[in-house]
Amino acid sequence: MNQKVAIVTGANSGMGLATSVEMANKGYHVIMLCRNKQRGEQAVESAKIQLTNGSVELQLCDLGSLDDIRSYTESFIQSGKALDVLIANAGVVTTKRQETKDGFEAMLGVNHLGHFLLIQLLLDKLKQSLDGRIVIVSSGAHKWGDINFNDPHMTKKYSIMKGYGQSKLANILYTRRLAKELKGTNVSVNALHPGAVATNLGVNRDTGFGKAIYRLLKPFFQTPEQGSRTAVYLATDEEIEHVSGEYFIKAARAPISKRAADDGLADKLWEWSQKQTGMKS
């Protein structure tokens, strides 16, 4: 039997690294997709020490660059490798406003738009799998979020809470809209809240707290391994093979905010994302 292949984005530390190890230990060949070569190489070495099964390899892609995503997906498709699972784990939190190479606000640009383009360009590959799965790491922070189409990249007024919340809301809206597109195929997509994971995003994924408060609260956070459990469950468990478009906390379906459940907003974001990423003029 051919070994199943999974891509994990943001695999160089924290939850991404833990998810990569767990997926490999379930027998997968895991492509650890990282932006930074040196950190990626260290992560792969760290992962290999923890493997009891499966295999890992490093591949490089900057989710803050549409050109980089296009050239990466093109070379992946040309390689002839199979793809069964894509776990969109990479996430950035920026205390001050930053931009991606394409001029997007960094959190929306990486957390949503970068993953949007990566996934859309690899959909045909996933459809060739007997059980293709896309797992998108969102957050309870989606409840603070709204999509401000008048100023989505927050050029006028920047707020870390609003920006992060907007990017995580976009993750769920995209999950729900993509599930509709994938109806009738053998590919499912689900989103999750990882719990308050102690990662080195700079600020905690769940709360947006700064480092001082983060250190104070760290004992109460789940470890990256605990946080990765739901991602691995969604990527591998047989009981949810045909579940799609849902949001999970601790391996159970969970309620979402009113905005996240808004189909009209999901449609609007879908159209906007296609234009922003050049998938549609």
Catalytic residue ranges: 164
Q: Enumerate residues 6+ apart whose C-beta is below 8 A from 180.
A: 245
Burial of 133 (0-12, 13-18, 19+ CB in 10 A): buried
Q: Give Cα separations from 119 to 2, 37, 87, 164 (angstroms).
A: 23, 22, 10, 20
SS3 content of the chain, % helix, strand, coil (to 5): 45, 15, 40
Q: Are strands 247-249 and 252-253 parallel, antiparallel or unpaired?
A: antiparallel
- CB neighbourhood size of 103 (10 A): 9
60 forms beta bridges with: 34
Q: What is the C-alpha separation between 27 and 127, in angstroms, rounded?
A: 21
Q: Enumerate residues 6+ apart whose C-beta is below 8 A from 80.
A: none
